[in-house]
Amino acid sequence: MEVDIQLVPSPPDPDTLLDRTVVVIDVLRATSVMVQAMSQGALEIIPVATVEEAFQTAKTFPQSSLILGGERGSKKIPGFDLGNSPREYVAERVKGKKLILTTTNGTKAFHVVSSGREILVGSFFNIEVTAQRCLELNRDLLIFPSGDEGKFSLEDTICGGMLIDLIMKKGGKRIDLSDASRCAQILYKKFKDNLSEALHLSHHGKKLVNRGFVEDLGYCAQTDMTDIVPEFKAGVIRVPLTPSLSPGETVSQ
């Protein structure tokens, strides 16, 4: 099982993803929001690239079933219900709802890797169970940090490095790391005792602090808050009820 990580979020060749599991990570804050919202009972999430697309998509569903969420310049978009802070996505707001989400980096990333065999939503919140799911699927893996406006992202790569470290510990010798995966694992080990510090050190983290979202950094650095692994399929993110596994395999969620 080969484990690779794309350190810079340039679009991969779609054909190389057909037989791979892909894990999309945007710690600050899109995939943290997604995992949080689904763990609080949101029914499904439609990630869209633009604000216009969000409003257009919203027109096709009954308004009472919908939540519009996301950010531009880190801030809530005019006319939207929620911003991009996972702390906003509590059961009282999202339970039983369909969430349409648009963010600067994270929601676009899902469309860039849409040819992946499975596309999982990763974050620190569900890191252990995501590692478990990757091992159950047992396919070559591409971890896709969604980056910081097209550039390398420290916090996403550290989260990817933690995923790699867990997969190595659980998977043993059958795991084959690329140079990039080795780099991410080393980076994670450097910060593993203080993930929140790493988020404060990162370019995107500093930007969020300046814009008044300092509390999101510590919040998004929390590990293993839930045991769900949402999947992106045909444009929609859901928590699969019966993940398709080989006979005899078990699912931890």
Residues of this chain that bind its own copies (CB under 8 A) = 6-8, 10, 148, 151-154, 157, 178-180, 182-183, 186-187, 190, 201-204
Q: Residue 231 Cβ, how far from its own copies at the closest point, in Å?
A: 27
Nearer to its own copies, 148 or 165 (CB): 148
Q: How far is the CB of 75 from its own copies (least distance, A)?
A: 22
The residue (of 76 and 182) whose beta carbon lies closer to its own copies is: 182
Cβ–Cβ < 8 Å for 143, 151: no
Taking the complex as a whole, how short is the minimal distance between the CB of residue 187 and its own copies, in angstroms? 6
Cβ proximity to its own copies: between 148 and 216 the closer is: 148
CB of 7 to its own copies, least distance (A): 5
Helices (H), 40-172: 51-58, 91-94, 106-112, 127-137, 154-171
Rg (CA), the chain: 17
Residue type, 93: R
Q: Nearer Cβ to its own copies, position 117 or 151?
A: 151
Which two structure tokens, joined as six digits, stand for 181? Answer: 């995966």
- What is residue 126's DSSP assignment? G
CA-to-CA separations, 70 to 105, 129, 252, in angstroms, rounded: 11, 25, 30
Cis peptide, bond prior to residue 133, ω within 30 of zero: no
In angstroms, give the least distance from the CB of 205 to its own copies: 9
Strand 66-72's sheet: what is its strand order? 75-76, 66-72, 98-102, 44-47, 236-238, 231-233, 118-122, 21-25, 141-145, 2-5, 176-177
Please state the closest distance from residue 239 (CB atom) to its own copies, in A. Answer: 31
Distance CA(221)–CA(198), nearest Å, equals: 9
Nearer to its own copies, 88 or 155 (CB): 155
Nearer to its own copies, 36 or 157 (CB): 157
